[in-house]
Amino acid sequence: MVDIDVFSDLICPWCYIGGRRLERAAGIARERTGRTYRIRHHAFELNPAMPLAGMDRRTYRSEKFGSWERSRQLDAGTVLAGGREGIVFDYEAIARTPNTRAGHRLIALAEREAGRGMAMADRLLAAYFSEGRDIGDAAVLARLGQEAGLGDDVAARLADPALEAAVREDERLAEYLGLRGVPLLVVGGQAITGAVETEALVEVLERHATRPPTGSGCEDGVCSL
């Protein structure tokens, strides 16, 4: 088995794009090599100081990138790249930039209960970027968790201290690695930054399939602090 560790945040459009590319690349590499690829999600917060209620997106993005026009230019780049991956970005539907910490707890819950952390992350990214849903809202997260088969008591279970501990552990690891932008993939000790094209990822995964295991802002394909 080849482990792939993915650091990403739920307000990072390139994480959405990169995740889809990685899933496709892992499928291609699996067919070619016969090896199994295990993709593990790790939490990263681009805005750890974001208020729990989030912020008006236009205000936040204008401050972050200097102007709303610059924000719209960056959005346009992701719309084009996402379209090639079957992703529809509906930025007009997004009213707020959310705090993503509870969303990361939901991903940790999905991983713990069903081994489906990456699938939950993709669902949250789709809910935010393609459907304009506020993934910082507890009721929205509970509904998405229920739809994913995590039970009717998702809202209560998200308060489990073990989930918060899992998120904190991921963020401590990110700090140890000196990580300041996402997405970041770690495959066989090799770090890959940005939403790398599928073909290039396939080459990396095939190369690592032949090796013994070794343990383990948004522009130009990467979102930065």
Calpha distance 49→158 (Å, rounded): 20
End-to-end Cα spacing for the chain: 32
Omega prior to 183 cis, within 30 of 0:
yes
Q: Which CATH class is domain 13-224?
A: alpha beta
Q: Residue 80 contacts by C-beta under 8 Å, 6 or more apart in sequence? A: none
Residue 223, φ and ψ in degrees, nearest 5: -100, 135
pLDDT of residue 221: 66
Angle between helix axes 117-129 and 101-114 (nearest 10 degrees) is 140
- The chain-wide mean pLDDT, for the chain, equals 93
Residue 217 has pLDDT above 60, yes or no: no
Q: Where are the domains of the chain?
A: 13-224
CB atoms < 10 A from the CB of 39, how many? 19
Helices (H), the chain: 13-33, 57-65, 68-83, 101-114, 117-129, 138-147, 154-157, 161-176, 198-209
CA distances from 84 to 20, 57, 129, 209 (A): 10, 25, 15, 27
Tell me if 26 sits within 8 A of 74, measured CB to CB.
no
Q: Which of 115, 98, 118, 110 minimizes the C-alpha distance to 163? A: 110
% residues pLDDT > 70 (the chain): 93
Question: What is the pLDDT confidence band of residue 8, given thresholds at 50, 70 and 90?
Answer: very high
Question: What is the pLDDT confidence band of residue 212, given thresholds at 50, 70 and 90?
Answer: low
Calpha distance 76→51 (Å, rounded): 27
pLDDT per position as a tens digit, 46-81? 999 999 999 999 999 999 999 999 999 999 999 999
Tokens of 217: 């802002």
pLDDT of residue 216: 39
Residue 116 has pLDDT above 60, yes or no: yes
Average pLDDT over residues 89-112: 98
